[in-house]
């Protein structure tokens, strides 16, 4: 006779109730928003949610040790696939990001969002107790190789996310402020220089080293969207109009004019926050922010109490990936950051991003489940 109670316990035991409640809140709110932003995609969106939650549960049932064992092979496979993309990848809309493997086209850069923190957490676990300054430079080298390949495709949004995922592992491993502060100062000086000399460096004949023309235009139109209102500045202008027009409580569900009169581009993906702002106002945005803060706070608590260095570094990095997604997307939609194609986590339509993020939540649940089983 089947033990129904025992089977049910084995199913729910790896699940962290607090994380599950937060994820359910975000996905529930996202479903309501998507019904307004893109009602014709609801069937596929629901399928994406179900598949992603199943993956989350499957990962949660695995021990972190198993994830540690696949860290190096996953990184190597991901890196080789990125090299293959650079050599043989399909070109679409001016970018070489996809690899045709016969049965399907894949985007290997997505794999690096998980493979990178796994690899670096494995590396620092192996160096625990004998860590030296040179180890941080080795870790930076491991990080920058795939980031450079992804940026070359070009896919600046994914490159930023992979860079963030790796940086947070290195930071939590004990990266010295003597290395962080100079980089921060150089970045601040560069930003100040772009703002001060905008008219000169944004001239059509000026080439920005290491960047494509469209990436230069994104930065320049961020500084002055009116310089190209029907081209590169269109997204930023329409998005900020939608955000500002919502006021405190919004225009009401399905009553957003920017959304439903087709002024707002990519309203179901990268600019879904503008739909939230227009229809639910500041109240809706604050609700999302509270849910994200709860998710990040819970993730950091789980990471802090993890029993091994590998689990602590991995949990901390996975959690801060959510912060990076939220920060970049909200900055992009509100006109503070350039448009780089980063979705709003678990709200934007898209199966790949949702699957990756739920995989990360599953890792956090796996770490929490392992901590419960460690004898005190």
Summarised one tens digit per residue, pLDDT across range 110-141 is 889 999 999 999 999 998 888 888 999 999 99
> pLDDT at position 10, please?
64
Q: pLDDT over 70 for what percent of the chain? A: 91
What does pTM read for this prediction?
Answer: 0.88
CA distance 76 to 73: 5
User: Mean pLDDT throughout 38-58?
Assistant: 91
Domain that holds residue 31: 17-180+211-373
Question: Which 3 state secondary structure label does DSSP give 37?
Answer: helix
Most confident of the ranges 103-112, 221-230, 340-349: 340-349
User: Mean pLDDT throughout 7-20?
Assistant: 76
Residue 318, domain member (yes or no)? yes
Where does the chain have alpha helices with state H? 4-12, 17-37, 42-60, 64-88, 108-126, 133-152, 156-172, 177-196, 198-201, 213-223, 234-245, 257-260, 272-304, 309-333, 351-373
Residue 228, domain member (yes or no)? yes
User: Mean pLDDT throughout 18-30?
Assistant: 94
> pLDDT at position 375, please?
45
> How far apart are the two ends of the chain, measured CA to CA in Å?
35
Q: How many domains does the chain have?
A: 1
Residue 4, domain member (yes or no)? no
Residue 352, domain member (yes or no)? yes
Residue 32, domain member (yes or no)? yes
Q: Is-contact 102 112, C-beta < 8 A?
A: no
Q: How far is CA 148 from CA 8, 53, 353, in A?
A: 46, 32, 21
Specify the higher pLDDT residue, 107 or 162: 162
Question: In this model, does residue 364 exceed pLDDT 60?
Answer: yes
Q: How confident is the model at residue 326 (pLDDT cuts 50, 70, 90)?
A: very high
Residue 188, domain member (yes or no)? no
Residue 190, domain member (yes or no)? no
> pLDDT at position 374, please?
47
> pLDDT at position 351, please?
81
CA distance 107 to 27: 24
Residue 191, domain member (yes or no)? no
CA distance 27 to 16: 16
Specify the higher pLDDT residue, 97 or 125: 125
CA distance 351 to 355: 6
Question: In this model, does residue 352 exceed pLDDT 70?
Answer: yes
């Amino acid at each position: 006779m089947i033990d129904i109670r025992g089977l049910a316990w084995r199913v729910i035991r790896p699940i962290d109730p607090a994380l599950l409640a937060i994820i359910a809140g975000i996905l529930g709110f996202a479903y309501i928003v998507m019904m307004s932003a893109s009602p014709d995609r609801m069937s596929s969106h629901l399928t994406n949610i179900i598949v992603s939650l199943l993956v989350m549960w499957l990962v949660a049932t695995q021990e972190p040790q198993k994830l540690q064992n696949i860290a190096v092979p996953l990184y190597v496979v991901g890196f080789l696939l990125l090299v293959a993309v650079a050599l043989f990848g399909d070109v679409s809309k001016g970018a070489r990001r996809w690899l045709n493997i016969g049965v399907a086209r894949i985007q290997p850069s997505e794999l690096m969002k998980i493979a990178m923190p796994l690899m670096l957490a494995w590396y620092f676990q192996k160096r625990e107790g004998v860590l030296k300054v040179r180890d941080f430079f080795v870790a930076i080298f491991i990080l920058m190789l795939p980031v450079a390949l992804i940026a070359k495709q070009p896919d600046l949004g994914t490159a930023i996310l992979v860079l963030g995922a790796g940086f947070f592992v290195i930071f939590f491993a004990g990266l010295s402020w003597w290395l962080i502060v100079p980089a921060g100062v150089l970045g601040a000086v560069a930003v100040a220089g772009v703002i001060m000399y905008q008219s000169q460096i944004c001239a059509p004949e000026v080439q920005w080293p290491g960047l494509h023309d469209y990436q230069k235009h994104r930065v320049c139109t961020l500084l002055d969207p009116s310089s190209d209102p029907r081209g590169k500045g269109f997204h930023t202008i329409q998005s900020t109009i939608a955000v500002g027009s919502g006021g405190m409580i919004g225009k009401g569900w399905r009553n957003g004019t920017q959304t439903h009169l087709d002024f707002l581009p990519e309203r179901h993906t990268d600019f879904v926050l503008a739909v939230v702002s227009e229809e639910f106002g500041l109240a809706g945005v604050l609700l999302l922010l509270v849910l994200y803060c709860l998710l990040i706070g819970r993730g950091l608590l789980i990471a802090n109490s993890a029993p091994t260095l590998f689990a602590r570094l991995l949990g901390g990095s996975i959690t801060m990936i959510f912060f990076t997604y939220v920060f970049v997307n909200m900055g992009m939609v509100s006109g503070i950051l350039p448009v780089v194609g980063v979705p709003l986590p678990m709200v934007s339509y898209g199966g790949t991003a949702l699957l990756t993020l739920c995989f990360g939540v599953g890792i956090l649940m796996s770490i929490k489940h392992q901590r419960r089983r460690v004898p005190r």
